[in-house]
Amino acid sequence: MKIIMLGAPGAGKGTQAKMIAEKYHLPHVSTGDIFRANLKEGTELGKKAKEYMDKGALVPDELTVEILLDRVAKDDCKNGYVLDGFPRTIPQAEVLDKELEKLGDKVDLAIDVEVPDENIVRRMSGRRACLKCGATYHIEHIPPKQEGICDNCGEPLVQRDDDKPETVQKRLTVYHDQTAPLIDYYTKKNILKTVDGTQDMEAVFADIVKLVG
């Protein structure tokens, strides 16, 4: 079973991807992790990607797919995988489909974790972090015992720039422009399933399990 996770930043797709991977004994393949691993190990693909990254340029879709296919060709992916963070655009999805087809393979299921923008802005702008010990909180869902102070080490909590409402809104705009069209793309292929991501984490997961079967 080859599954692609879709959803806006902050929708919780990464968490769900990890839970699916654990339940079905599939590798959780995150493009960010693969890039980091290739760069760290100094592989040929990693060196190629680094040339673009050093110039501040985007890594071309073909190279990203090459790095991804190199990862899913490993033994642990022979029964499938959960893909998180790729594809992000229609051209990337098309390159991925074309390359998988050459291998006699295809994506089986695309799961969209659907959360309205206003929920995401509220969810992400409520996050607080401790820069000293790395603990994270949420002013509504996981508040610290004392407002603005880390339970673990007593340091002040901060709102990261990434979690500020205006930054979240910008990321959502990019998502709607570039990534949301994938919902139509996979709907046309009859492999898209949607879950309500506004529920709590366990309820979202229970819905996904019903879909995966």
The residues that are catalytic are 13, 88, 127, 160, 171
Residue with token string 């991925």: 96
Cα–Cα dist 19/202, whole Å:
10
Total residues belonging to the chain? 213
> Hey, is 76 helix, strand or coil?
helix
Residue 111 phi, psi (nearest 5): -110, 120
Q: Where are the alpha helices (DSSP H) in the chain?
A: 13-24, 31-41, 44-54, 61-72, 90-102, 117-125, 165-174, 181-188, 201-212
Cα–Cα dist 77/95, whole Å:
19
Tokens of 6: 């879709």
Kindly report the number of other CB atoms within 10 A of residue 37's CB atom. Answer: 13
Tokens of 28: 């959780």
